[in-house]
Amino acid sequence: MPIIKYPRVRDPLFYEWDRRAQKCGLRHTVYAVNGDQYTGEWLDNMKHGKGTQIWKKSGAIYSGDWKFGKRDGYGSYSIPDPVTKEYKKVYTGWWENDQKAGHGVRLYPSGERYEGEWSGGVRSGWGRMYYLDGSSYEGQWREDQPNGQGMLQLPNGNRYEGGWKDGKKHGPGRYFYLDKGQLLEGTWAADIAKCGVLVDFGRDKAPAPTPYPIPKLELNDPAGVLAEARALLDDRHN
């Protein structure tokens, strides 16, 4: 009886090509269709581990940790200067799901700097912001603005300590006018002091004190007016 041999069933060639194309482990530079390039580690055809990505359109560079194709872990992000073409670091710190998250340092084109916590790509948590005019803010942030408790330090030494909401002074707080030697303690709403008490504070060491000190509030009642009012109220209640 003759033996009939059937040809072995094989998968189409594109399955083999796809298997060979799956990138895992450390690879040399891989170029995308749009010109972007990545050098580093892969897992199941996704950037995973340590690697460096260069975006052709913007020229930006990210070097650091990756997780399943997204920036995740610790890394730095830099962009080229439009004039000198030299790279300047924009952000160094932690990432999660391709966004800034955790502690990091952000350098702004204006020269301002933020050091602190991030969430979802924006300033959120506790952080320090150094502004271009020489002032600084240290305290709580939410949705990229001062929110909660914080301190604003001005270039002349004056400072505000207290509540904030949507980037403005809001709630109980204290404003130290160290240049005049005065302290305003009160309540703010939308950056405006609504009520409070202004007293002298370190007037003898102030560089530019007011011509006259603030009179102290006397609570005595020499005419007995308060005593008479209390007596009338007592009679009404009785």
Q: In a structure prediction context, what are the per-residue pLDDT tens digits for the chain, which is 238 residues long?
A: 566 655 555 656 545 545 555 667 677 789 989 999 999 999 988 999 999 999 999 999 999 999 999 999 999 999 999 889 899 999 999 999 999 999 999 999 999 999 999 999 999 999 999 999 999 999 999 999 999 999 999 999 999 999 999 999 999 999 999 999 999 999 999 999 999 999 998 888 888 888 888 887 665 555 554 455 455 445 544 5
Task: Say if 203 falls within a structural domain.
Answer: no
Task: Say if 222 falls within a structural domain.
Answer: no
- Domain encompassing residue 42: 12-93
Task: Say if 227 falls within a structural domain.
Answer: no
Strand pairing of 37-43 and 46-54?
antiparallel
Q: What's the structural domain count of the chain?
A: 1
Cβ atoms of 115 and 123 closer than 8 Å: no
Locus of tokens 């240290």: 138
Task: Say if 2 falls within a structural domain.
Answer: no
Please state the pTM of the whole predicted model. Answer: 0.78
Task: Say if 219 falls within a structural domain.
Answer: no
